[in-house]
Chain A
Amino acid sequence: MKRALLSAVALTVVLAATATQAQDVAITNARVVIGDGSDPIANGTVLVRAGKVVAAGAGVAVPAGVKAIDAQGKWVTPGLVVAVTDLGLVDVGAVDDSNDSAAGKSPFSASLDLSTAINPDAQPIKVSRAGGVTRAAVAPIGTNTIFGGQGAVIDLGADPQAVTVPRAFQYVELGETGASRAGGSRVATYAELHNALGEAKEISLAPAGARRDDVLLTRRDAQALVPVVTGRQPLYVHVERAADIRMVLGLRQEYPALRLVIVGATEGWLVAGELARSGVPVLATPLNDLPDSFEQLGSTQSNVGRMKAAGVRVSLGAFFDQPRYAPQYAGNLVALTRVPGASGLSWGQAFAAISSGPAEAMGMGERFGSLRPGRAGDVVIWDGDPLELTSGVVKVYIDGIEQPLDNHQTRLRDRYQTPTEGSLPKAYDW
């Protein structure tokens, strides 16, 4: 609790700092998407003051002195929220020197704090921002254990303060990936997990005490798992197959304080009832439909729709792809509602699955992810239906601050509108 309070205080300070730069703005004449699953509202207004949403919807008055922007009927939505991504850790995936998403040679694992490596100037952040992504949960980091380190919640603003919440959650692999890291078998992943949580428990009971002489974790790693066993820090668990999901749900019998979030869940539809009853949020990789591995034999694009229909708290994440593709994934789930026998999401549900849904799974639903009053002023204006392929982003606000949308790609685009050289080589065209 103490830690949570402290970080809340620290965050208030950070937000206050950005709020001083934020201009009050009202976006009028907009097709407003709240992001909570409801349908778009025609002719709406979004009012942002001091970096936060004050009101959004129909009949919102624009106070005197607040700058009004006429959206001319365009779509206005909360910024997209992408959970489980390497944004900010990587410049170029295949250039190892620029890639901080794996630390397999480190002696540490659970204690690795991803917030220390976030680079707000990385092109993937700029490109994702230009695609309407405003917040992300960054994880995991590859280690030589089942633990993927302490993930960070970040914003994609063009300012030095990228980290919204450091050490926001712990990440663990309990499927095929975990098995290979733990020694070659799922059996070993559970031995490793129980041992680690046990060592954390011992430390939590005697923080300054001497440790047993047969511990496997460094003190630092065991210490990092204390907030997990005590329920102060969520535990994201990556599993795909139905049997693994059941095993994970069963962990709470032994560790009742665990705040689980299931990541991946390709076969979630096969255990949808149990998932729904557990209340555990699911960040599902959308559109898996190939038997890509033996833990994904039951894959179907209807997975998310079936889980939603069963009452699972499901949203999208872990694309292992570019974050700005979130709307395309969501749109495809809407498409499924028109396919005989398939299950998908309504438009409102689909948009929520890439905005308020992941924010709530992160425990951040009160902070951002929708245009409900009090949320961060993360707002995107689109030139068409945001889930539709030909639509694009017109403006992005984060914490009420209008963001630059240029990046390496847009500069190349501008230079090469005509490929041939003029009176000077292309290098002079900038």
Chain B
Amino acid sequence: MRKAGILVATALALVLPGTGALAAKDQDKDKKEPSAAVKAARDFNKDPYPSTYKPYPGRATVIVGATVFDGTGKRFDKGVVLLKDGKVAGIGGSLAELDVPADAVRIDGTGKFVTPGIIDAHSHLGDYPSPGVDAHSDGNEMTDPATPNVWAEHSVWPQDAGFSRAMANGGVTALLVLPGSGNLMGGRGVVLKNVPSRTVQGMKFPAAPYSLKMACGENPKRVYGSKGRAPSTRMGNFAVNRETWIKATEYRRKRDEGKLESRDLKMETLAGVLDGTILVQNHCYRADEMALVLDMAKEFGYRVSTFHHGVESYKIGDLLKQADTCSAVWADWGGFKMEAYDAIPENAGLLFKAGACVVIHSDDANGIQRLPQEAAKAQGDARRIGIDIADAEVIRWLTLNPAKAIGVDKLTGSLEAGKAGDMVLWNGNPLSVYSRPEKVWVDGALLFDSSDRKRRPVSDFELGQPGEGDVK
């Protein structure tokens, strides 16, 4: 697992321009042995609370005769999918194409649909858990506008019942849990496998990169302006961001030159972004602000993986395509705050038409249960303005695209051989309001079965409460 993590990190560093990790190593050779303090500042454990998740046991399973959307945009009518050893072992149009073990569980998928596990690129499950009482408000460290030192995983309460609802009703198998948007730099997000666990480490997606949550616009300036401190304006937002990036650039230079004398949690996260090993997830509603953020990213040599809540992304589909930055959007929610005033239901459709990356996200413990429904609404609204998008493409907005947005697209997000056995069997087309998950597998283990009431997670909090183990 560790190895995979390092490989992914290196791969990302190579892809990104302006990253100096390799060059720095060469320079180090010529230097004399660094001091203990310098070593500590440089060679710290990058993953001090590592994932302890191990796939649960599963049986080889083949689904025959279902309509299969593979997550990459392909559709197989009367297709077959084989899960084996926790992985997707094969997918195709007929059984003859697959090497099915004799003892495999065989499921008749006639009239049913199969998709990769649904992925939510924007969730606060665990850091704003149910019940939503003040004592559970752990998503926004609103004591400083830049808190890249806080990590969402240290807030996640694994007993949030929302995780089980996301699986049972939404087919969600992986999610990015982010800090909130009260701060310009809200902290690190963590990718989780949607598996019940006693500890957050037991949910952490092995080898997934970290993300830095950033936020544009109204929230940070309102939160800090009302405290009588910077930022209180949008220009203040940028000033604080740029000053912080300047510090991070300086920190990283010193680090690469072996001149650091102490660790700095804030700077370690930001240097990780500049190295390309930590992805940027930027909450940003307005098109004009997104365009400024893209320039800020260029100024400091990082990349914005995804704009979240980009209700105005449709105004700059061309710029977003060029930047290869995804937009994680709702289908048709908007208008609730000034910067959401120009939200339109055709946002996703217009982005798709522009060739930009579309992700449907939730940011909500209820919405995460209905991501395919949101995508279907966007599909319908696109069709009414002449943009026809095939079901299989729309499914990509919930699977491979969010996997890419959060940095796990090599591991999950599509039903390609060798990828994680994260899969959902639906009782009808998932883009219909009348369909629900029938079975959900995570790494090949069957963790939800609508016809087996004991194959339904019940959190500690729900034990002994009214409706314990109910259908929900």
Contact = CB atoms under 8 A, between A and B. Distances in A.
Given A94-B336, A302-B470, A339-B471, A419 B316 contact: yes
Tell which of B169, B317, B434, B465 has the most Cβ of chain A within 10 Å.
Answer: B434
A335 B318 contact: no
Given A92-B335, A298-B467, A390 B431 contact: yes
A250 interface: no
Nearest to B356: A419
Nearest to B466: A298
A409 B344 contact: yes
A149 B165 CA distance: 36
A339 B450 contact: yes
A341 B471 contact: yes
A390 B461 contact: no
A413 B342 CA distance: 10
Contact of A289 (B132, B435, B472): B472
Contacts of B450: 339-341
Contacts of A363: none
B433 A419 contact: no
Contact of A334 (B433, B451, B465): B433
A266 to B, nearest CB: 10
B17 interface: no
Interface in B145-192: 161-162, 165, 169
B247 interface: no
A389 B316 CA distance: 26
A267 B472 CA distance: 12
Given A289-B165, A291-B131, A302 B434 contact: no
Contacts of B332: 322
Tell which of A267, A287, A340 has the most Cβ of chain B within 10 Å.
Answer: A340
Nearest to A343: B471
A280 interface: no
Interface string B356-386: 0000000001100110010011011101110
Given A92-B336, A413-B385, A301 B431 contact: no
Interface in B329-369: 332-333, 335-338, 341-346, 350, 354, 365-366, 369
Contact of B130 (A127, A292, A334, A408): A292
A408 B345 CA distance: 12
Contact of B432 (A290, A340, A388, A408): A388
B445 to A, nearest CB: 21
B78 interface: no
A387 interface: yes
B453 interface: yes
Contact of A419 (B130, B165, B314): B314
A293 interface: yes
Counting chain A residues whose Cβ lies within 8 A of the other chain, the interface size class is 35 or more
Tell which of B131, B132, B165, B317 has the most Cβ of chain A within 10 Å.
Answer: B131
B435 A335 contact: yes
B169 A301 contact: yes
A345 B385 CA distance: 32
A338 interface: yes
Contacts of A290: 130, 161-162, 165, 365-366
A339 B318 CA distance: 43
Contacts of B435: 335
Interface string B433-452: 11110000000000000110
Given A294-B131, A331-B433, A389-B432, A301 B338 contact: no
Given A290-B130, A328-B373, A416 B466 contact: no
B377 A419 contact: no
B427 interface: yes
A387 B466 CA distance: 31
Is chain A's interface secondary structure helix, strand, loop, or mixed overall?
loop
B315 interface: yes
Nearest to B130: A290
Contacts of A389: 373, 376-377, 379-380, 431-433
Counting chain B residues whose Cβ lies within 8 A of the other chain, the interface size class is 35 or more
A193 interface: no
A342 interface: yes
Nearest to A327: B433
B465 A297 contact: yes
Interface in A323-351: 328, 331-332, 334-336, 338-342
A301 B434 contact: no
A93 B340 CA distance: 10
Contacts of B380: 389-392
A338 B427 CA distance: 8
Contacts of B436: 335-336, 338-339
A412 interface: yes
B314 A93 contact: no
Nearest to A414: B385
Given A292-B131, A331-B434, A413 B366 contact: no
A336 B316 CA distance: 39
Contacts of A143: none
Contact of A300 (B133, B453, B471): B471
B295 interface: no
Contact of B451 (A127, A270, A328, A340): A340
Contacts of B369: 289
A412 B385 CA distance: 13
Contacts of A300: 467, 470-472
B108 interface: no
A123 B336 CA distance: 11
A224 B185 CA distance: 50
Contacts of A289: 165, 169, 366, 369, 472
A334 B385 contact: no
A420 interface: yes
Contacts of A338: 427-428, 434, 436
A40 B338 CA distance: 41
Nearest to B132: A292
Interface in A121-139: 123-124, 127
A301 B350 contact: no
Contacts of A93: 335-337
Interface in B369-406: 369-370, 373, 376-377, 379-381, 383-385
B257 interface: no
A242 B467 CA distance: 12
Interface of B: 130-133, 161-162, 165, 169, 218, 314-318, 332-333, 335-338, 341-346, 350, 354, 365-366, 369-370, 373, 376-377, 379-381, 383-385, 427-428, 431-436, 450-451, 453, 461-462, 465-467, 470-472
Given A92-B336, A289-B169, A419-B315, 4 more contacts: A296-B131, A302-B471, A332-B370, A341-B471
12 contacts: A92-B336, A124-B335, A289-B165, A292-B132, A292-B365, A300-B470, A301-B472, A336-B436, A408-B342, A410-B344, A416-B350, A419-B317
In order of increasing CB-CB distance, the 10 nearest A-B pairs are A390-B380, A331-B433, A298-B466, A94-B337, A389-B376, A298-B467, A342-B471, A290-B130, A93-B336, A409-B344
Interface of A: 92-95, 123-124, 127, 242, 267, 270, 287, 289-294, 296-302, 322, 328, 331-332, 334-336, 338-342, 383, 387-392, 408-410, 412-413, 416-417, 419-420
